[in-house]
Structure 1
Amino acid sequence: MTQANLSRHEAAGDKTAKRHREIQAKIDKIDKHKGSSAKKNAPQTGARAYPVPPFPKQHLKKPGLEAELTPAPMYDAPYYEGSKKLDGKVALITGGDSGIGRAVAVLYAREGASVVIVHLDEERDADKTKKLVEKEGRPCLVIAGDVRKRDFCHDAVEQTIKAFGKIDILVNNAAFQLHTDDFEDLDEQHFDETIKTNLYGYFFLAQAAARKMKPGSAIVNTGSVTGLVGSKNLIDYSMTKGGIHAFTRALSGNLLPRGIRVNAVAPGPVWTPLNPADKEAGDVSKFGSDTPMKRPAQPEELAPAYVFLASSHCSSYITGEILPVVGGY
């Protein structure tokens, strides 16, 4: 390379570097003018404004009552209009008394489905959900019991068929979650509770329902962002949610010849009793603030995804999929 060419290239490099600095200076000026306020504002992207942290410091006793949670979770989706996407269907929803399960029950009823909700022992929450479903003009059967027990799961399906003559949709949603900061503190009792609730429960109910389902039926499982990326304080829970995702994909292939679709929703942080019954009060106050949305989802923001995956009008060509609803990455 001649000296002239070298000088020309160096000059071009200097010119480009100068241009980089000019662009940088413009952005630095904008950042300085904006200060830190832009980083603190939570974007509102929904049909109505949703609460943002900090929330009141609170810690609920397991399994957690929605009636005791402040602010109250938003589940009724007032701007969502039903269009008979589930008209005449019968849906069984576990963990249907509160949180995501309650919101799903309300929208399923609004779309024309008869609803069965399974809950552990939260009678107050379950009674309210029943009234909400009935307010939508659809019947609701409430069943209390433990999804870890195979006999109960099969009995819940039988009660559903006895009441409504069939089962078209199963939503596996009941879950147990409890953090451990140190891996060594995760003992066998805790581990078993998580595994049996989150995996055995899904397996038992799916097996019982699939025996009775006809072509066009759907199973929708609740996974989690922790099953996609893990959580250092929820090792057992993350393990089960990853297992649910794998179970969804494997089961979808097994049941597809029978015309039964199987999918999952993978929520990020959602304002339900599950997390305030797990986390310490100070952590609950900041719940969801580390997402790009800077807030947790409200249950009504998850429920349309469950409608979509259950409805043959919307997702007849979708099976074995995991639908993340995580507030951005």
Structure 2
Amino acid sequence: MGQHNLTVLTEFILMGLTRQPELQIPLFGVFLVIYVITVVGNLTMIILTKLDSHLHIPMYFFIRHLAFVDLGNSTVICPKMLANFVVDRNTISYYACVAQLAFFLKFIISELFILSAMAYVAICNPLLYYVIMSQRLCHVLVGILYLYSTFQALMFTIKIFTLTFCGSNVISHFYCDGVPLLPMLCSNAQEIELLIILFSAFNLISSLLIVLVSYMLILLAICQMHSAEGRRKAFSTCGSHLTVVVVFYGSLLFMYMQLSSTHFFDTDKMASVFYTLVIPMLNPLIYSLRNKKVKNAFYKLFKN
């Protein structure tokens, strides 16, 4: 490859989601529909929570930012993925790969802690919710989360792309991610791999614990409800939330909490589809659009 990847390497070849030509067009259609639903759903939540005064409360402030990071995460991955379904040579330029990795890490780490912030504030402290969560505190909290995710995204991106790549420039994935890039590095891959596992463990486990404890408290509260109809509706809502949480965290844990020597990239691709494409589509449906206040805001917006 030469002495240094910054001067010699100009592009990577992405293996894509599948090597079977007959599946390219059907998969293009499926993921185009997923992306359109993702864009419409998350943009709708951003617009509604911004325009409707009844949604200017802390819970919907966090939901707006969840919609923003979901939209960003999907947009970083999906358009390039869709383009590669219909071209003969599935390539991405060196600097586009750098940008894709950096923005993907920023959005996915932000989502972890926005979910945990929503769970802790809105569920663990329901009585103090409106007291402690001033508008200024909401902005400070989200600002800290974005700074933290930006720091990690830049740290890993700089560490990976200032090293030398050797051998093939083929990435065994459908987008630029740290895990499939590690086997392509000539040296110091073990150090970066250890950092990825350590930071992934902290990010995933700390945020997941907050979310799980919050839902345990919700389940206890539901069990104490006297109305059978109320319990049924609450269990239905809580069950859909928990399903999305389990799929989101489970696929991330599977991807980032194992050594590179144990990775099977075909399986990794399937896991990645969930947290990059499927979950960003489901979140606005599960967390927001089933909510009565959001529905009323939606009807008012189109009525006006």
TM-score (normalizing by structure 1)? 0.28
Report the structure, 1 or 2, having the larger strand content.
1
TM-score (normalizing by structure 2)? 0.30
RCO higher in structure (CA 8 A, sep ≥6) = 2
Q: Give the structure with higher Rg (CA).
A: 1
